[in-house]
Amino acid sequence: MREGKTPMNLAALPTRFRLTSLVTRAGEDQSWVTTATLFHELASLKVRWTSARPDSRLRVHQLVSPRWKGEQPPSEDGAIFISRLVPIERPEAELNLFELVPSGWVRDRELVRQGRALIEALPSGHRHLFNAIFWEGERFRRFCIGPSSMSGHHRADHGNLAHALEVAALMRENCGRHDFMSTPVGILAGLLHDAGKADEYELGPRGDWVLSERGRLLGHRVTNIEWIAAAMAGQRVVLPDGHYQALLHCLTASQGAPEWLGIRRPAMLEALLLSDMDRFSGRGNLFRRCQTGSTTGWGRMHPHLPAQPYVLPVAEVTAQAGECVG
């Protein structure tokens, strides 16, 4: 057992971390010793503390804040001794949740970087709503690791996250083309349009993704609306006038829906764009997956594509791009 002081600048460390592991054992004199690992994009720590009883509020994947023991707390076997670990129970608008995605959730850190940039582009109220929806750590983990479908586009692990980030980035790029479109609503709609799939799919007994009971009975759109309404009401999220209704319209409107279903057709350009970018992202993923052997030419048929996919050879694409520039 090696003991010593911790040579670090505590003031430079983040104040919020993701709790990634938690082990409690009986100590001396009827005390309890708890060891935890904490993650932030800027620092990963192992901490330890002693208490009269285990803290039943602490759960793996939740957000926490360590309370340090002085400016240079002691350490033991790589674990920094702290006074206690405090769970952060209320969503904070200024926090970027993509700074708190452990590599065990998402190994592709480029996806995490993209998510961080999109959240940074959101005003405080819109970010508060996103954080309120995903403050519960296990829900955010499912959003990050799950697929967007079982047999269609983005069906692999992290597929729903990759699809959401791509659609949100496309919304950000295209909403800026017209001054009457709301970029924050567009980005948030892109991030949330399939968010409910975090509860629509679950790992089956064979380790593959299957429809959950909620997925079979309700589907992700109902889950989306439940989450958004609960976050708005329970966490006192404040959005500019009309933005809450506009977001719900983007997420629920559907082109070609029969009137008797009570589903409204897209009346906002943001809603039309979301539908188009959702389809564009999904079909782009299927085009990549359906290429056989070569990355160009004819690919395999897929029931979710309107025809057998064909991709131009790179040389032809490059030549056409040069002609357009000239």
Separation of alpha carbons 186 and 167, rounded Å: 9
309 within a domain of the structure (yes/no): no
Residues 212 and 125 in one domain: yes
Please check the confidence at residue 159 and state whether its pLDDT lies above 70: yes
324 pLDDT above the threshold of 50 = no
Q: Say whether both 15 and 44 belong to one domain.
A: yes
Evaluate if residue 196 carries a pLDDT over 90: yes
What's the pLDDT at 227?
96
Specify the pLDDT at position 75. Answer: 82
144-148-150-151 Cα dihedral, nearest 10 degrees: -140
Question: Which of 49, 69, 87 is at the close of a domain?
Answer: 87
Amino acid at 121: A
User: What's the mean pLDDT when you consider all of the chain?
Assistant: 89
Q: Are residues 18 and 118 in the same domain?
A: no
Domain contains 61:
yes
- Tell me what the mean pLDDT of segment 287-292 comes to: 81
Q: Are residues 135 and 58 in the same domain?
A: no
pLDDT at 1: 43
- pLDDT exceeding 90 applies to what percent of the chain? 61
Please check whether residues 119 and 80 belong to one and the same domain.
no
Mean pLDDT value across residues 174-186: 94
Per-residue pLDDT band for 175 (boundaries 50, 70, 90) equals very high
- 22 and 62 inside one domain: yes
Range scoring the smallest mean pLDDT among 52-61, 107-116, 153-162: 153-162
Are 130 and 250 part of one and the same domain?
Answer: yes
C-alpha span between 59 and 37 (Å, rounded)? 12
User: Do 58 and 119 share a structural domain?
Assistant: no
Choose the most confident range, by mean pLDDT, from 26-40, 87-101, 214-228, 304-318: 87-101
Share of the chain above pLDDT 70, in %: 92
Q: Write out the residue range of the structural domain in which residue 269 sits.
A: 97-292
In this structure, is residue 320 part of a structural domain? no
Residue 321 has pLDDT above 50, yes or no: no
* Predicted confidence band of residue 311 (pLDDT cuts 50, 70, 90): confident
For residue 324, being part of any structural domain is answered with no
- Summarize pLDDT for 31-80 with one digit per residue, the tens: 899 999 999 999 999 999 999 898 999 999 999 999 998 777 888 888 99
Around Cβ 302, how many Cβ atoms within 10 Å? Answer: 18
Burial of residue 1 (number of CB atoms within 10 Å: 0-12, 13-18, 19+): exposed
Instruction: Measure Cα distances from 237 to 181, 229, 243, 250 in Å.
Output: 22, 10, 12, 19
Q: Is residue 298 part of a domain?
A: no
pLDDT at 95 over 90: yes
Cα-based distances in Å from 97 to 151, 223, 245: 29, 20, 24
Indicate if 131 and 268 belong to the same structural domain: yes
pLDDT at 6 over 70: no
State which H helix or E strand residue 271 sits in: helix 269-290
CATH label of the domain that carries residue 81: 2.40.50
pLDDT tens digits for range 133-148? 999 999 999 999 999 8
Is residue 107 assigned to a domain? yes
For residue 135, the model assigns a pLDDT of 96
Single out the residue in 87, 122, 154 at which a domain terminates.
Answer: 87
pTM: 0.89
49 CB-contact burial (10 Å; exposed 0-12 / middle 13-18 / buried 19+)? buried
Last residue of a domain, one of 51, 66, 87: 87
- The CB-side HSE value for 59 (13 A sphere, CA atoms) comes to 10
The domain total for the chain is: 2
In a domain, 108, yes or no: yes
- 80 and 12, same structural domain? yes
Each residue's pLDDT tens digit, 217-267: 998 999 999 999 999 999 889 999 999 999 999 999 988 777 777 778 889
In a domain, 300, yes or no: no
**Which parts of the chain are beta strand (E)?**
3-5, 17-26, 32-40, 43-51, 63-68, 74-76, 79-87, 201-203, 209-211, 297-298, 310-311
The answer to whether residues 60 and 133 belong to one domain is no
**Can you read off the two tokens belonging to residue 261?**
């279903």
Structure tokens at 189: 């709609």
Name the most confidently modeled range: 2-16, 165-179, 299-313.
165-179
Q: Which two tokens stand for residue 131?
A: 């954080």
